[in-house]
Amino acid sequence: MKMEKRKFRIGQLAEHLEVKSSVIRFWEKEFSAKSDRSQGGQRFYDNQDLERFTLIKNLLYEKKFTIEGARLEIQKTKGIIPSKKTVFTDQIPSNHLINSAFKAKLLELREKLQKLKEIL
């Protein structure tokens, strides 16, 4: 399906991406992706939004990123979607060889190990 219109509604975007409208709304919230709104509050999207949500879907569904991992990857590659959470990167090298998703996994693992240490 080709999206030739300049502006389209959430149902059309969801149909094109083959997800439910609620998924689009969830991604808007999680990725701080604001849509244009009509005076009545109806969401409208353009081709740039389509590209953004296609990227999000690809990272989450195809590449199996977590939400936070996808945020970090988008921030690293395009810088268009800021991270909602503060990620503490102390003691993890900020080397370009370590990609953002891997760094996020290391941080998650470190947090789990710290909790385990507290238990012991």
Burial 62-78, CB ≥16 within 10 A → b, else e: eeebebbbbbbbbeeee
Task: State how many domains the chain has.
Answer: 1
In a domain, residue 38? The reply is yes
Q: Is 60 part of a structural domain of the chain?
A: yes
90, pLDDT greater than 50:
no
Could you tell me if residue 16 is inside a domain? Answer: yes
CA angle 105, 107, 113 (to 5 degrees): 105
Residue range 32-82, pLDDT digits in tens: 888 888 888 888 898 888 888 999 999 999 999 999 888 888 888 765 544
If you average pLDDT over residues 85-98, what whole number do you get? 46
Q: Does the pLDDT of residue 110 top 80, yes or no?
A: yes
Q: Is residue 26 part of a domain?
A: yes
Phi-psi region of 18 (alpha: psi -120 to 50; beta: other; left: phi over 0): left
95 in any annotated domain: yes
Provide the domain limits for residue 68.
8-119
In a domain, 46, yes or no: yes
Residue 3 maps to a domain: no
Q: Across the chain, what does the average pLDDT equal?
A: 78
| Contact partners, residue 38, CB within 8 Å, separation at least 6 | 44
Q: Please check whether residue 1 lies inside any domain of the structure.
A: no
Q: Give percent of the chain above pLDDT 70.
A: 76
Residue 18 sits in a domain whose CATH number is 1.10.1660.10
